């Protein structure tokens, strides 16, 4: 989903839904990390996904801002001029 969220058209994105989905993914990976704690490869894979989710969460504030339905064409014009 991160490719769609980062590189697709952002005007149709719902930042609240994305935030919720990231929280669900994080909890799932956290549970899998604990479940697979004695198995090196599966635990490592779950930890890898947790890191990727954490890295993507850093973009969530920007995504929330640009996906705000209150942003009008005049706002985009000001942003573009900057």
How confident is the model over 7-25, as pLDDT tens digits? 878 777 888 898 999 999 9
Q: C-alpha angle with apex 50: 35 to 28, nearest 5 degrees?
A: 45
Q: What is the pLDDT, as a whole number, of residue 52?
A: 92
Other CB atoms within 10 A of residue 17 CB: 10
Q: What is the pLDDT, as a whole number, of residue 64?
A: 85
Q: Of all helices (H) and strands (E), which one includes residue 66?
A: helix 60-66
10 Å CB burial of residue 48 (0-12, 13-18, 19+) is exposed
- pTM over the 0.85 mark: no
How confident is the model over 23-75, as pLDDT tens digits? 999 999 999 999 999 999 999 999 999 999 999 888 888 888 888 878 888 88
């Amino acid at each position: 989903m991160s490719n769609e969220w980062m590189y697709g058209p952002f005007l149709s994105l719902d930042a609240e839904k994305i935030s919720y989905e990231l929280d669900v993914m994080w909890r799932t990976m956290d549970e899998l990390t604990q479940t697979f704690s004695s198995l090196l490869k599966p635990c490592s894979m779950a930890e890898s996904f947790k890191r990727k989710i954490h890295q993507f969460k850093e973009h969530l504030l920007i995504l929330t801002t640009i996906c705000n339905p209150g942003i009008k064409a005049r706002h985009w014009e000001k942003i573009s001029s900057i």
